[in-house]
């Protein structure tokens, strides 16, 4: 039996256009103002990843340059320092490796930059370190010079500690000393770049804490999360003075939503962001933020940012610059080199698509559908690559989504009033399915490159399956549309898939197409083509059926109606009889049936025509109910079955084998009745 699929894959072509107008006013120059975001709503994968994987490194920013110092990676502990400039558009430039390595390998260290110098503080090289190394930063190129060891080392070895610089003082908070987490806080003045004498604060941390992160907002320092026997959700704050003193640490009422250790953090305006980390069971891709309304108080507690990190990770680096946030490396399932940023440099949104532009009869068309819309672009880039991400879920990690269309290059962009157009093609969309989609892009300006997705998502629903059973004959419309003669298998001038009285399908016995046609008053409810063996255990001993038998049911509405049945068989030739099978009588010829040959679409077709009256002996259900059931097909005289017991006459017995020919003739006479 042929099994018909009722689902489809559609081809959807989507085209967008964006009209960008550049207005030049003579004598007037309006500088672009960088808006400071109040929340992290998108992440962009920077084109310039770190040259090597790095985790547990020191990260610092100074004068528009970002530095990655030491750390570890897949090839061992690092002594190198790499640095890159943050370009005018916010993208990370090409990474350079410093000419000078650290004097020794170091990881789990911290890094700070201040007043023209870069500092590497503590860390591990097997045992914990108390060293502080300093390198001068070239004011023109941002390159760090040769490292030198500070005379005033840390009062004790430290790694997994937190550091910050405030009012020319360097502070070291908590950390680990080879024996476990500690609660001490140290500070030292910075004089002409040199680290002065260290002082231990009068007030220790309320708990032994390592792997925390600290941020300074106004005159207060905030210590966020960390490891204190387990991943901590506590947030402490203390006042910091300009004399290097730090006050009593106070526990904030609003804790983080979960314990977080090994996280990164940044401050933007009056908001603190805690990025990624580890909760004791798994790495995190979360970003928690809180607005500090008063010292030690949040406006509305901690909230989860709209956009999560593209990868769950901890022990990487993070900075903020010009209102944007950047992360560097870190540890996920493996060591990372990716650099993520919150910039969306040019493409900021996708135009909303009016429903009338994407619908035809209530749904997106199956086939060559065109969607109108566009992208809003801040600046005309040198090159723009655009593709589309599709998914059947409303909330998706778009940048890591694999259900994507090909990316195609936009036409060259130049001049004013440039019309930018691009298209993406999907050839595996399901019919009658809602899809969410977003434009993905890569912008190239000179040596700068940024990739990401538009910051709003659109949705559409594909139309009802176009290769479903449009005419309700039990055969998929797609199967009927693929029949010979461009879907008109019986050559009546109309698509088989659009006629309830015509059904075409691939004959599973012959492997070629076969078509059933009945009166226009009738509709085909079901059609199968079965082999002789599938029809009955009792095979015809006289005829073969190279195209099987059509087993169908039609509804003609009117009881007692006489239907004209026409069967078309592609790919068979020779002399045939139109024969029928009934369980109680076996196989027999249909009286007054005829066969003929036709040429359809340059193919030879064998055609059988006969009539069946509702409720007659040719109607399998035998009832006058307007419905006709009829298993029949083309029989070709041949060897038939060698089992003489399977001749269709159940009355034959072994004792009468000698008279089988006579009895078979008698049986045939018995079934010759008024077939109409």
Average pLDDT over residues 459-474: 68
Ordered DSSP codes for 68-117: EES-EETTEE---EEEEEB-TTS-B---EE-SS--SS--BS-EEEEETTE
Average pLDDT over residues 239-246: 91
Which pair of structure tokens corresponds to residue 45? 């994968």
Confidence of residue 472 (pLDDT cuts 50, 70, 90): confident
Closest CA to 334 of 75, 114, 549: 75
**In whole angstroms, what is the distance from residue 603 CA to residue 158 CA?**
87
Closest CA to 105 of 84, 133, 66: 133
126-143 pLDDT per residue, tens: 999 999 999 999 999 999
**In whole angstroms, what is the distance from residue 172 CA to residue 537 CA?**
90
**Residues whose CB is less than 8 angstroms from the CB of residue 246 and which lie 6 or more positions away in sequence, other chains included:** 171, 185, 187, 201, 203, 221, 238, 239, 240
pLDDT score of 468 more than 80: no
Residue 395: predicted pLDDT: 55
**In whole angstroms, what is the distance from residue 578 CA to residue 145 CA?**
97
pLDDT score of 92 more than 80: yes
Residue 447: predicted pLDDT: 57
**In whole angstroms, what is the distance from residue 222 CA to residue 546 CA?**
85
Kindly report the backbone phi and psi dihedral angles of residue 238, in degrees, each rounded to the nearest multiple of 5, phi listed first. Answer: -155, 150
**Residues whose CB is less than 8 angstroms from the CB of residue 592 and which lie 6 or more positions away in sequence, other chains included:** 610, 611, 675, 676
Q: Which of 38-42, 246-250, 472-476 shows the highest mean pLDDT?
A: 246-250
**Residues whose CB is less than 8 angstroms from the CB of residue 574 and which lie 6 or more positions away in sequence, other chains included:** 636
pLDDT score of 599 more than 70: yes
295-332 pLDDT per residue, tens: 999 999 999 988 899 999 999 999 999 889 999 999 99
pLDDT score of 629 more than 50: yes
Can you give the pTM of this predicted structure?
Answer: 0.51
**In whole angstroms, what is the distance from residue 587 CA to residue 538 CA?**
9
Closest CA to 636 of 535, 540, 529: 540
DSSP category for residue 314: B
Report yes or no: 432 and 463 within 8 Å, Cβ to Cβ: yes
Residue 367: predicted pLDDT: 30
Report yes or no: 12 and 429 within 8 Å, Cβ to Cβ: yes
Higher-confidence residue of 49 and 391: namely: 49
Query: To which H or E segment does residue 484 belong?
Result: helix 484-487
Residue 26: predicted pLDDT: 22
Report yes or no: 543 and 564 within 8 Å, Cβ to Cβ: no
pLDDT score of 20 more than 60: no
> Cα torsion for 484, 490, 496, 498, to the nearest 10°?
140
481-496 pLDDT per residue, tens: 899 999 999 999 999 9
Report yes or no: 322 and 90 within 8 Å, Cβ to Cβ: yes
Residue 301: predicted pLDDT: 95
Which pair of structure tokens corresponds to residue 665? 């003739």
Long-range contacts formed by 643-649: CB under 8 A, 24+ apart: 643/539, 643/541, 644/541, 646/537, 646/538, 646/539, 646/541, 647/538, 647/540, 647/541, 647/542, 647/586, 648/538, 648/540, 648/541, 648/581, 648/585, 648/586, 648/587, 648/588, 649/586
267-304 pLDDT per residue, tens: 999 999 999 999 999 999 999 999 999 999 999 999 99
* Cα angle 420, 422, 426; round to 5: 165
Residue 438: predicted pLDDT: 62
356-370 pLDDT per residue, tens: 222 222 233 233 333
Residue 42: predicted pLDDT: 80
Judged by average pLDDT, the poorest of 31-40, 165-174, 450-459, 528-537 is 31-40
Report yes or no: 186 and 155 within 8 Å, Cβ to Cβ: yes
**In whole angstroms, what is the distance from residue 481 CA to residue 369 CA?**
19
Confidence of residue 537 (pLDDT cuts 50, 70, 90): confident
Portion of the chain with pLDDT greater than 90, in percent = 59
**In whole angstroms, what is the distance from residue 217 CA to residue 297 CA?**
12
Average pLDDT over residues 414-422: 38
Report yes or no: 610 and 578 within 8 Å, Cβ to Cβ: yes
3-state secondary structure 509-557: CCCCEEEEECCCCCEEEEEEEECHHHHCCCCCCCEECCCCEEEEEEECC
538-590 pLDDT per residue, tens: 788 899 999 999 999 999 998 999 999 999 999 999 999 999 998 888 899 99
425-443 pLDDT per residue, tens: 444 455 566 766 665 555 5
Which pair of structure tokens corresponds to residue 675? 């077939």
Residue 385: predicted pLDDT: 56
Confidence of residue 415 (pLDDT cuts 50, 70, 90): very low
**Residues whose CB is less than 8 angstroms from the CB of residue 140 and which lie 6 or more positions away in sequence, other chains included:** none
Higher-confidence residue of 598 and 638: namely: 598
Residue 214: predicted pLDDT: 98
Residue 478: predicted pLDDT: 82
Residue 658: predicted pLDDT: 37
Confidence of residue 384 (pLDDT cuts 50, 70, 90): low
Q: What is the mean pLDDT of the chain?
A: 79
Residue 429: predicted pLDDT: 54
| Domains in the chain: ranges and CATH | 44-263 (2.120.10.80), 345-461 (2.60.40), 477-671 (no CATH)
Judged by average pLDDT, the poorest of 138-152, 370-384, 646-660 is 646-660
pLDDT score of 166 more than 80: yes
Which pair of structure tokens corresponds to residue 167? 């009012």
Q: Which of 179-183, 304-308, 359-363, 531-535 shows the highest mean pLDDT?
A: 179-183
Q: CA of 543: how far to CAs of 112, 491, 511, 563, 588, in Å?
A: 94, 29, 20, 26, 10
pLDDT score of 43 more than 80: yes
**In whole angstroms, what is the distance from residue 130 CA to residue 156 CA?**
6
Higher-confidence residue of 658 and 321: namely: 321
Which pair of structure tokens corresponds to residue 377? 């672009």
Residue 493: predicted pLDDT: 95
Measured between alpha carbons, how far apart are the two ends of the chain, in Å? 29
Residue 460: predicted pLDDT: 63
Which pair of structure tokens corresponds to residue 635? 């029989």
**In whole angstroms, what is the distance from residue 567 CA to residue 515 CA?**
6
Average pLDDT over residues 613-629: 91
Average pLDDT over residues 262-270: 96
Average pLDDT over residues 337-364: 48
Report yes or no: 522 and 551 within 8 Å, Cβ to Cβ: no
pLDDT score of 446 more than 60: no
């Amino acid at each position: 039996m042929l099994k018909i699929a009722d689902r489809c894959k559609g081809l959807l072509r989507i085209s967008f256009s964006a009209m960008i107008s550049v207005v030049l006013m003579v004598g007037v120059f309006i500088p672009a103002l960088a808006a400071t975001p109040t929340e992290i709503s998108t992440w962009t994968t920077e084109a310039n990843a770190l040259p090597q994987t790095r985790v547990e490194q020191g990260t610092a920013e100074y004068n528009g340059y970002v530095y990655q110092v030491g750390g570890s990676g897949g090839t061992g502990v690092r002594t190198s320092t790499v640095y890159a400039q943050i370009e005018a558009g916010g993208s990370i430039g090409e990474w350079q490796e410093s000419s000078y390595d650290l004097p020794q390998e170091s990881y789990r260290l911290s890094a700070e930059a201040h007043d023209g110098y870069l500092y590497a503080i503590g860390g591990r090289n097997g045992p914990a370190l108390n060293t502080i190394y300093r390198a001068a930063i070239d004011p023109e190129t941002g390159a760090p010079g040769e490292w030198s060891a500070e005379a005033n080392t840390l009062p004790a070895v430290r790694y997994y500690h937190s550091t910050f610089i405030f009012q020319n003082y360097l502070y070291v908070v908590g950390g680990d000393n080879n024996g476990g987490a500690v609660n001490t806080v140290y500070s030292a003045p910075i004089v002409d770049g040199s680290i002065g004498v260290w002082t231990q604060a009068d007030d220790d941390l309320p708990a032994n804490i390592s792997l925390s992160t600290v941020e300074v907002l106004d005159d207060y320092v905030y210590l966020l999360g960390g490891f204190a026997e387990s991943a901590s959700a506590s947030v402490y704050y203390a006042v910091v003075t300009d004399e290097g003193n730090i006050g009593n640490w106070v526990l904030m009422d609003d804790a983080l939503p979960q314990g977080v250790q090994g996280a990164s953090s940044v401050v933007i305006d009056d908001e603190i962001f805690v990025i990624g980390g580890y909760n004791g069971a798994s790495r995190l891709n979360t970003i928690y933020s809180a607005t500090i309304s008063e010292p030690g108080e949040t406006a509305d507690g901690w909230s989860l940012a709209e956009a999560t990190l593209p990868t769950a990770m901890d022990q990487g680096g993070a900075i903020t610059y010009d209102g944007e946030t950047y992360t560097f490396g870190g540890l996920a399932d493996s060591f990372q080199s990716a650099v993520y940023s919150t910039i969306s440099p040019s493409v900021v949104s996708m135009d909303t698509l009016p429903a009338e532009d994407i619908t035809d009869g209530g749904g997106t068309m199956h086939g060559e559908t065109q969607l109108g819309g566009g992208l809003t672009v801040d600046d005309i880039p040198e090159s723009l690559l655009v593709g589309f991400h599709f998914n059947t879920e409303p909330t998706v990690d778009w940048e890591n989504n694999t259900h994507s269309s090909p990316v195609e290059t936009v036409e060259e962009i130049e001049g004013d009033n440039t019309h930018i157009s691009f298209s993406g093609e999907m050839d595996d969309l399901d019919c009658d399915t809602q899809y969410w989609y977003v434009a993905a892009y890569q912008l190239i300006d000179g040596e700068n490159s940024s990739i990401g997705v538009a910051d709003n998502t659109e949705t559409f629903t594909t139309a009802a399956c176009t290769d479903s059973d449009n005419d309700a004959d039990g055969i998929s419309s797609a199967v009927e549309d693929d029949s010979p003669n461009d879907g008109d298998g019986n050559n009546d001038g109309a698509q088989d898939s659009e006629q309830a009285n015509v059904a075409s399908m691939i004959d599973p016995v012959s492997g070629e197409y076969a078509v059933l046609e009945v009166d226009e008053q009738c509709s085909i409810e079901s059609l199968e083509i079965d082999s002789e063996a599938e029809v009955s255990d009792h095979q015809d001993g006289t005829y073969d059926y190279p195209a099987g038998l059509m087993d169908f049911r039609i509804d003609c509405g009117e009881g007692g109606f006489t239907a004209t049945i026409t069967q078309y068989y592609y790919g068979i030739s020779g002399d045939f009889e139109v024969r029928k099978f009934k369980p109680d009588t076996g196989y027999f010829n249909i009286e007054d049936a005829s066969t003929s040959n036709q040429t359809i679409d340059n193919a030879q077709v064998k055609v059988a025509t006969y009539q069946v009256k509702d409720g007659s002996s040719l109607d399998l259900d035998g009832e006058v109910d307007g419905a006709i059931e009829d298993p029949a097909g083309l029989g070709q005289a041949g060897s038939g079955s060698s089992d003489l017991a399977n001749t269709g006459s159940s009355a034959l017995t072994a004792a009468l084998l000698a008279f089988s020919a006579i009895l078979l003739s008698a049986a045939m006479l018995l079934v010759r009745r008024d077939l109409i």
